[in-house]
Structure 1
Amino acid sequence: MTAVTPKLTPTQEQALQQIRATGEEFAYNGISRATVAVLERHGLVTVKWSVRTWTARRTYRSRSMCDWVARPAKGA
């Protein structure tokens, strides 16, 4: 039985090629969080997600930043 290749947009295909070429990609290197989520959902990459939260010293407001590291999935 052959695996079904998901249909990707040109942006998603370019991001997948970039991740495969470098071996791993980090957040804020030009690939959006939504694109990485789609690639992870299709099983093409594995992603380690993390959220950092801190409180601003002057305003005492909480700020959050989503970080991720994407690596090509084994066998994909």
Structure 2
Amino acid sequence: MSKQLTPAQGRALRQIRAKGEEFAYNGISRATVAVLECRGLVTVTWSVRTWTARLAYRNRSMCDWTARPVKGA
């Protein structure tokens, strides 16, 4: 794996550092956040919410995350 970040990963990292904290569904994909977490650039808190849709009686799930930059990285 290359040590260099892709343009999308670089933009995401700059966005997270600028805001200090970034949440899911604000324009950054789960895959991008996962790569940044694996490289030790951000810490991510993951959670999954599951509910049953009333009319369809089917389970639905949504993955949420919160990313914070690692100090000194």
Match of 1:12 in 2: 9
Q: Which aligned runs of 4 or more in structure 1 are off by greater than 2 angstroms?
A: none
Q: Which consecutive unaligned segments of at least 5 residues does structure 2 have?
A: none
Using structure 1 for the length normalisation, give the TM-score.
0.91
Q: Report the residue type matching 1:65 in the other structure.
A: M
2:66 matched residue in structure 1: 69
Whichever of the two has the greater Rg, that structure is 1
In structure 2, the partner of 1:48 is 45
Residue identity over aligned pairs, in percent, reads 79
Unaligned 5+ segments in structure 1 are 1-5
Alpha-carbon distance in structure 2 between the residues aligned to 1:48 and 1:74 = 16
SS at match of 1:36: helix
| 1:4-25 deviations in Å (ceiling 9; x for gaps) | xx31001100100000000010
TM-score calculated relative to the size of structure 2? 0.94
Instruction: Give the Cα–Cα distance (whole angstroms) in 2 for the partners of residues 36 and 8 of structure 1.
Output: 12
